[in-house]
Structures are given as C-alpha cells and as structure tokens.
Structure 1
Amino acid sequence: MSSRNRKSDFREFILMCLLKLEPLSYEQLWRKFMQMTSSLVLGSQYFEEWGERFGDKVEEFITSLGFKAREKPRRRRKIRKRKEGMVEEDFQRDIRELIREGLIQEAGGGKYQLTDEGRLKAEEHKNNMEKGAHVFRTQIVSPTAAARNTIIVDFILAVLKLTAGFISGSIALIADGADAAADTFSALIVWVGMKVGKDHIGALVIILMMFLTGASIGFESLTKLAEALTAGIEPMKQPYLVIVVESVALIAAVILMVYQRYVGKHHGSLTLISQSIDSRNHIYVALAVITGAGFSLLGVCFIDALIGAYIAVKILQDAFELLQGALSSMQGEETDFSKYNIPLEGHYHGYRIESFRNWILYTMREDGLKTREELIKSLEEVYRPEYVPILSEFSFSLGEGFDFRKEFDELVKPLTEKKYISRRGEEYALTREGGERIHRVLENLKFHTNK
C-alpha cells in the first residue's frame, strides 16, 4: 500500500484538538498542526545544513590527502521535487474521512465539532497519550527513575564483563567487571538516598567511588608501567573479546552520561550530575581498555597504562571539584548547574533558534505579519501555546526559557543579513530570497511527515 493510500497520523491529532478546543475551523486546526510541526521539525534545516558543512570539511580533508571525494548523493534533491502542499492535502483528506466515519461534524460557521462517537474516540486517544506521558515523566525522566535505571544498566554491565572475563581469563575484564559491580552498589545507595530525601548522601557516595576509582586506576597504571620497564608485560588475553565487551560498555556509558546529565540538570540534582561525570569517566576507561587491547594485538602492551595514568588524574580532579560543590550545597549555597553542559546542548539551541527564524519567515508569508509586535506575538503563541496535542501532554515547549521580546533583534539579524527579510522603518518585509528559503524548508518538512 502506498503512503498516499494509507491513513496518516493526523486523525488522532484532529480529534484531540476538537476534544479540548471545539468548535474549530479548518484554519484553526491547521494552525494547531503547524504549531506542533514548528516545534518538532521546523528547525531540522539546522541539522541538514550542519551536516552539509561537516561533509564539506570531510571532503576537503580527503582531497588534501590526494584522494578523490565521493560524489554527493542526490536523494534529498529528488525528495524535494515533491509538492509543498502534499501534507495539507493529507490533512484535508483526513478531515473528510472523519466526517464520513461520523466522528466529527460541521458545527456551522465553517467550524467542526465532535460527534458522540468521535468524543469517545478522542477521549480514548487522549487517555492513551496521557498514560504514555505519565510513564515518560515518572519512569524515565524523574530523578528516582534515572537512579533506578542506572542500577539496572550497571548491573547488566557488571554481569556481562564478569562473565566474559571469567570465560576468557582476561584480568582487565574481571577488574572492570568488579568496578561495574561496585558502581551498581553505589547506584543503589544513590537511589535509596533519593527515596528517603537524602540526595547529598548519594552524591558523597559517588564522589567517594570516584576517588577510589581514580586511585585504583592510577595505582594499576603505575604498577603496569613499572613492570614494562623491568620485567615486561604479558600480552592481554582474548583482546578481541575485550574490545567487543568494552565497546558495548562504552556505548552504554555514553547513553548513561547524556541521560543522567539531562535529568540531573533539568531537576537540579547534584547527585545525578555526579553520576553523569562518573559515567563520563567510564567512557575514558572503556576507551583506554579498547586502545590497550588494540595495541596488544600489535605486541605493544603498555599504552593502556599510559592512558590509564592520565585518566586517573582526570577522575581525581573531577572528584575534588564535585566534592567542593557537594560541600557548598550542603552548607546551603546554590549550585551553579549551568556549568554542567548536556552533550549536544549547543545543537539543540541551534535547532530551536533555526525553528524560530523559520517560523518568522513562514508567518510573514502566510499571515502577512510585518511589525515587531506582530511577529513576537506570533512566536509566543506558537512556541508557548495554550494547548497542542502531544506537546501539551508531554509538557514540551520549544520556547521555554526563551525571551522572544528580549532576543528578537538577534533572531532577525541573520535574516536581514542574508536578505531573507528587509526592514523599512518599523516594518519588515519578506524578500524573494526569504520566500524561496521557507519554500525549501517546507519541502523538507513534507519529507519528514510523508516519508
């Protein structure tokens, strides 16, 4: 069945909109859809352009080495031949289908409302969405859930490393597995501390474990270096198995670090921030073990010891810094969470700025807005809306914490510099280049929605 013949996802969205806000005209329904779309995909051009810039740098590097760069794929160009209005056609078709099925009806004045059957269906969709949002908030992004999920991941990694270590006889894996088991125990203490409202206990436990880990890695690395200078080091056993297992651990540590940092920063939990730094240290450890295993295959058996010594110093530095923060927090001082950046946070900021700018172009084209006040009001309505299905259930707002009035001049500055808009006195006007720009963005939007 082709994508044009299957049912789209707009039906549930339309029903939920009408359940909350009926009666609504087609224009109001479409506006709500664009509010959701603007938050979810209108800024995707940022990542596409970032990818193109990154690709250009890679191509330049390859060319500088004397190789011929591979021809760029043309898939995106073909996709962009699709008509801009295809999604709106699908949206209109779904409204007609909902009317035929007796789920919505005309309410007069060009507006639509739910039928009794449609109301039951809409309430079912909304209840399912709210259940999903509740699970997301309580079982994934709450501090106690993050602490519990960390226990689960650490336990799985400990079992994996210890099992592989005993099967292969690899001392490195057994030692790393024992460390993962200790992490599981400390994560359990963190979780219990959160449950009883003693977050600082968990933070201190994590910091203590970091001191022990740093000291242990440092001692082991220096001992191994001493052996290399005197008696020599035996090659690592089962290096391929070590590489595979530690690669899995590396991926898990990266995910845990981002996850813990996000939840910790969002909820102001120094304990989770401490865990995220500990997870980052495990990334370093995994990389050191993988590097050591790789060099072991080449007969060089001391590289991981050199890397380990450096990592030990970094872990101890992090532990001292966190200890200072924890002690200050216990004394009543406010923790500065802004210094604990979430990985890819800068890209998220770039994404939403791109979304805001694209909306300015869109609303100037579609609504004919011209003045600063009109554009600011439109941005606030779209990115801090009263209700939009899915976004409201999950409490997601791209405009949260952003002052459109204060930052407006910075938002429009690149648009004027690139000649997408022009300014005459107190009014802005969309240029031909700006119209072409938003047309390309909307074509990209259709790709995301209709693929």
Structure 2
Amino acid sequence: MAVKEELRLGAKASKNSTIVLVFLAAIKGTVGFYSGSSSLIADAIHTSMDIFTSLAVWVGLKLSLKSSGEHFPYGYYKAENLVALFVSLLIILSGVELVREALSTIRAPSEIEFQELALGAAVFSVITIYALSQYKFKIGRQIGSQALIADATHSYTDVFSSMVVVVAIIGSMFGMPWIDSLGVLVISVVIFKLGISTAKESALTLMDAWLDRESIESIRHSVKQIPGVNKVDDIRLRRSGLVVFGEMQVESAGECDLKRVEMLSVEIEEVVKSEIPNLEHISVDIKPGKISVLKVAIPIIKPEGLQSKLSRHIGKAPYYIIIQLEDNKIIDWEIGENPAADLERKRGVKTAEYLQEHGVNIVIIKDIGEGPFHKFHDSFIKLLDMPDDVEDVETLIGKIPELSAITAPTE
C-alpha cells in the first residue's frame, strides 16, 4: 500500500473514531445527568477530551498528506509524530484526572438513581470503547501510524476507566460506593506507564533516533551480498511519521562508471526496501574500493613464464597468465589453460567467467565483443587496451600505468 493511501486510511479511522466518541459522550452525559451518577458524568467529560485527541490525530495525518514544499523538503510526515507526543501527554493527564476522581470519591461518595439505566450506559461504553480501540490498533499497525497507535492506546485505557464506572455503579447498588476508588488508583499506574512509554517513543522519533539495531545489521549483511559491493561503511535511517529516510555509504569492488553506480544504487535500494517496507528514499554514496594487491590477467600463446608471447584474442587464447602486483611490482604469478579456447560458441563469455572465478581485477586485451565486455563490466573487472608494439608479458607489465581503459565493446 502506498504511503498516501495509508495516510488516508489512518485519517478515515480517526474521523470515524471522532464521530463515535461524540455519540458516546452524549449518551453518557445525558444518562449521567438524569441518574445523578457523578462518575458517569466525569466519564462523559473524559470522553469529550478524547474527541479532541482523535481530532488532533486526524489533523496530524491530514497534514502528513500535504506535498513537500520549499520549507519542508522532506514533507509534513513528522506532524504525525508531534501529534503522537501530544496524545501521550493527554494519556498521562488522564491518569492524573483518574487519581483526582478517586480521591474525591473517597471523600464524598454519592448515591445513584436509575441505577439500571446508568449501569447499562456504562457497560455499553466499555464495549464500544474497547471495539473502537481495537479498530484503531488494527489500522494503526497496518499502516505503521505512531499517532493512531497512541490514540488507540489512549482509548484502551479508557476501557478501564469505563469499567471503574461500572464497578462504582454496582458498588452503589450494594451500598459500597468506595470500591471504585481503589480500582482507579491501580488503573492510573497503568495509564502513566503507557503514556510515558508512548511519549518516549515519540520524542526519540522526533530526534531521529533509530532503535532497531537488528534491521541495520540485516541490511548490512544483505547489501554486502550484492555483486560489486566490497563493504558497507555506514547506514543511517530515520523515521518520519509513517515513512523512513536513509543514507548509506558503501565501497565498490573496484572502479565503476556512472551507469554502473546507478545500477548498483537501485539494487541497494531494493534490498533496503525488502527490510524496511515504508522506505521513502535512501541516498547511496558509492566510493571505489582500494585494492592493495591487483590480479592482472593476460592472454598468452604458450606457457613461457614472463617471456610468454601475447595473444590478441580473448576467447581463442589457449592460456592466461595471472600476475599479482603490489605497488606495480610482481609478487607472484601463475599460468592456467583457458577452458573455453576450444568451444565453438560463447568462448569470450566463458573465458570471462573463468577469469572472474580466479578473482581477477584487470584484464589486458586487444579486442572484445559485447557479451564478454558486459560480463567483465558487471563484475567490476577493469579492461585495459593491449598495445600493438608489445610482444611479451614482462614488457607489457612495465607499461600498465600507460595503458588506456576499454569502455565499450570493440568488435
């Protein structure tokens, strides 16, 4: 589901919640007034506060739908986190209000008229608010809305306050109006805990904290498996409302052109999106890897060591000498038979695969077709042009710093 669609779904849920709360507050207020139930009236006032909370969430989600402008290049997504923080503060205030109600009930318990009607309204309130909280939890988790989840949590705590009203009315019916006071004090502790937890999460999100270290390590591991990525230097993610923005620095396995950098960036973004579904954008900085020891492959006619004569054909060359260079000095070399030399088709591609398996960084050749060229290119193997006036390997090695790169197929 697209982010805009998720925001619209969340805004619709908040709107529906507001309508239900208006209806519920009216019922509890009316019944509380005629029955003389002070706890039911107080609960109606409490529900009226929730109306403003749902409205605040609706406003926050609607603001998040606005397109980014000059002053808000990253959009208005964090309006949702601001609202979540505001709602969490209301949750804490609700806990304070419940404590105040409990203390006042202990000091001045009241008798209730029309007790059955008041009890019915209180029970209806419990059922309705519970259903409403589950509805908002479902939508909030579905779209990843911190504000809607916070509002659902707030509604869930209201279920307990409404149950306190039920207990108070039942206690009044049995001549024990003080029972609800103890319950309110216990519930207020739960409300404080929920409010502080939600406030902490909202504040950390607003400060661009990223607490899911497992996702970072999973992304790092997956990106390192992409061909052409040498290592992952840094990953930075931050949540903004429903979406996530990111930055990443990676080191490529050797040099690569702009087209390959773009392709690699797309592959990395797809990997990150598989881990973070709500990823809005990630900026990937690709730096060429530093290779201390180079492995240079050169096609030769006969295995005669560094005096071997050069072959001008990539696929038809019967042998390849692979030389390890450090600071342009030979530290080791080996000669291997080209397994693709006698093939009738795709000799160049099979030769490229053979050299890739040997971990070659550079191949010096004269002519190359489209198939093997792209095979080398996609494997981050640099191609150098073999000069016409050089006949043996040792002389060619001395000229490597002067050789030009092959950037396109030559045949």
More strand by share: 2
More helix by share: 1
Where relative contact order (Cα < 8 A, 6+ residues apart) is larger, the structure is: 1
